């Protein structure tokens, strides 16, 4: 079975699908690996791939013409789709719901397409989750971009001329990218705040040094939350407990909630916050954003438009010289004023909309991506050789498997992904999504 690694030709894409380290492992497992010349740019040279056991071919046609499985990073261009063969397997970032016509063309050519955005967020698929690997890099870069763009120190510093205050940084969205941004800003010495609509993220953010913005905590600080009153038995219960019948010292379950039991019951169902609390949180965010020096937004939903978290009014309430770094710029932006790939200045606030941040760190991004791809390739292939020292590798397209069923969005001439099919029906006929 041959694996092909073409050079990425999408503008601004500096990563590569497999690095020599991973190629060496695949070759030992019995795969043949074809790499287009120059695929690894200046950081993974052709001779590095040859030393790892790969065959370097001079053009993309040689890769697409011979490989059984293609590993890319970015989605293929029209020219690349034209070079693909029937029954060939493609693994890359496809984002089917945003590019349904591209998926349709792949299906029409008989290509089996695996989309990295569709990897399920389960423990079994964690080692294959390239989206999380790239999100970690994007969060890291967002924190650095914000610190580099701010016209002041991030940490508190004492100098002969006096002491400067630590910058206040708000991270909106506490997933992989948000958690990485929190960690980096905390290490830089900034005062970090965080918010997410999911209750379970509060503890995660706080564990990395952030103060979670929570309207219930604010009320508690103001003394508006009822204090816990310890239960004391009275009457017959008091008498019986004094005689050694300690079960009478326990509060009646139909009248009191025993501390700890309520939490145990809640763990059986996913905790959610009420609409009323979420509205109070939003009002609190509007107030707290006025204090911030940097706001980093990281809320992304694969295949959908990014939710608006910071509107024009919120931007105008921020201090002059403040910075917004919008990680979701490519998906429409979490800030109402974001322009993808541009820096917009509004009301003395700069809104930065970076695109493809993982590609700005191609060495580590390619290493992490390649490891994810090795694990995914191992999952979707099988060795049928009967002898221990031999290899007979074939695709294993078991659609009863959750990972394969979720990630394979086109196979056998059909689009398997429901969201992509719906997007295709809604797309205008003249629209070209690639």
Q: What is the pLDDT of residue 228?
A: 53
Q: What is the mean pLDDT of residues 103-111?
A: 96
User: At residue 245, does pLDDT exceed 60?
Assistant: no
C-alpha to C-alpha distance for 49 and 41, rounded to whole angstroms:
12
105 catalytically annotated: no
Whole-angstrom distance, CA of residue 95 vs CA of residue 187:
33
Active-site entry in 219, 246, 266, 398: 246
Q: In the numeric block, which tokens belong to residue 302? A: 């694969």
Q: Catalytic annotation on 274?
A: no
* Catalytic residue chosen out of the listed positions 58, 87, 126, 418: 126
Catalytic annotation on 126? Answer: yes
In this prediction, residue 267 has a pLDDT band, given cuts at 50, 70 and 90, of: very low
Q: In this model, does residue 358 exceed pLDDT 50?
A: yes
Output the CA angle 323-325-331, nearest 5 degrees.
145
Taking 70 as the threshold, does the pLDDT of residue 394 lie above it? Answer: yes
Q: Which of 58, 78, 121, 398 is catalytic?
A: 121
* Residues 6 or more apart whose Cβ sits within 8 Å of residue 190: 147, 154, 155, 166, 167, 168, 169, 294
Q: Is 396 a catalytic residue?
A: no
Banded model confidence at residue 148, pLDDT cuts 50, 70, 90: very high
DSSP three-state, residue 335: strand
Q: Where are the alpha helices (H) located in 150-175, listed in sequence order?
A: none
pLDDT computed for residue 388 by the predictor: 81
Identify which of 320, 319, 323 has the alpha carbon closest to the alpha carbon of residue 344: 323
Q: Which of 105, 109, 129, 215 is catalytic?
A: 129
What's the confidence (pLDDT) of residue 272?
83
This model's pTM is above 0.75: yes
Query: Can you give the pLDDT at residue 432?
Result: 43
Residue 297 has pLDDT above 60, yes or no: yes
Query: Mind listing the domains of the chain with CATH numbers?
Result: 2-129+362-426 (3.40.50.720), 136-359 (3.40.50.720)
- Looking at 85, 127, 132, 317, which residue is catalytic? 132
Greater model confidence, 408 or 219:
408
Average pLDDT over residues 60-81: 96
pLDDT for the residue 247: 61
CB 363 within 8 A of CB 354: no
Instruction: With cut-offs at 50, 70 and 90, classify the pLDDT of residue 273.
Output: confident
Query: Does the active-site annotation cover 246?
Result: yes
């Amino acid at each position: 079975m041959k694996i092909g690694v073409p050079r990425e030709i999408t503008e601004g894409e500096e990563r590569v699908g497999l690095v020599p380290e991973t190629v060496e492992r695949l070759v030992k497992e019995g795969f043949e690996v074809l790499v287009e010349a120059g695929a690894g740019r200046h950081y993974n040279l052709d001779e590095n791939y040859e030393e790892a056991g790969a065959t370097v071919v001079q053009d993309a046609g040689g890769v697409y013409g011979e490989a059984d499985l293609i590993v890319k990073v970015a989605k293929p261009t029209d020219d690349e789709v034209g070079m693909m063969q029937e029954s060939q397997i493609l693994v890359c970032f496809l984002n089917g719901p945003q590019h349904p016509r591209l998926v349709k063309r792949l299906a029409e050519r008989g290509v089996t397409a695996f989309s990295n955005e569709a990897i399920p967020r389960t423990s079994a698929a964690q080692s294959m989750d390239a989206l999380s690997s790239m999100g970690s890099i994007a969060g890291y870069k967002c924190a650095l971009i914000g610190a580099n763009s701010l016209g002041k120190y991030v940490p508190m510093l004492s100098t002969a001329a006096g002491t400067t205050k630590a910058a206040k940084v708000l991270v909106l969205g506490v997933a992989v990218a948000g958690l990485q941004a929190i960690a980096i800003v905390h290490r830089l010495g900034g005062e970090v705040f965080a918010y997410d609509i999911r209750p379970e993220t509060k503890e995660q953010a706080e564990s990395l040094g952030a103060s979670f913005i929570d309207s219930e905590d604010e009320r508690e600080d103001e003394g508006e939350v009822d204090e816990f009153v310890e239960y004391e038995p009275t009457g017959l219960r008091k008498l019986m407990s004094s005689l050694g019948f300690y079960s009478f010292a326990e509060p009646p379950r139909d009248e009191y909630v025993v501390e700890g039991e309520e939490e145990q019951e809640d763990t059986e169902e996913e905790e959610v916050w009420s609409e009323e609390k979420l509205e109070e949180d939003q009002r609190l965010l509007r107030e707290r954003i006025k204090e911030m020096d940097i706001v980093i937004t990281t809320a992304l939903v694969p295949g959908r438009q990014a939710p608006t978290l910071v509107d024009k009014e919120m931007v105008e309430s921020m201090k002059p010289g403040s910075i917004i770094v919008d990680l979701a710029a490519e998906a429409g932006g979490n800030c109402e004023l974001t322009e993808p790939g541009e820096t917009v200045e509004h009301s003395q606030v700069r809104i930065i909309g970076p695109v493809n941040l993982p590609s700005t760190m191609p060495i580590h991004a390619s290493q992490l991506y390649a490891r994810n791809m090795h694990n995914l390739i191992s999952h979707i292939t099988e060795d049928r050789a009967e002898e221990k020292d031999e290899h007979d590798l074939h695709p294993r397209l078991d659609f009863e498997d959750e990972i394969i069923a979720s990630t394979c969005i086109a196979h056998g001439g059909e689009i398997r992904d429901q969201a992509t099919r719906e997007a295709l029906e809604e797309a205008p006929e003249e629209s070209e999504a690639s």
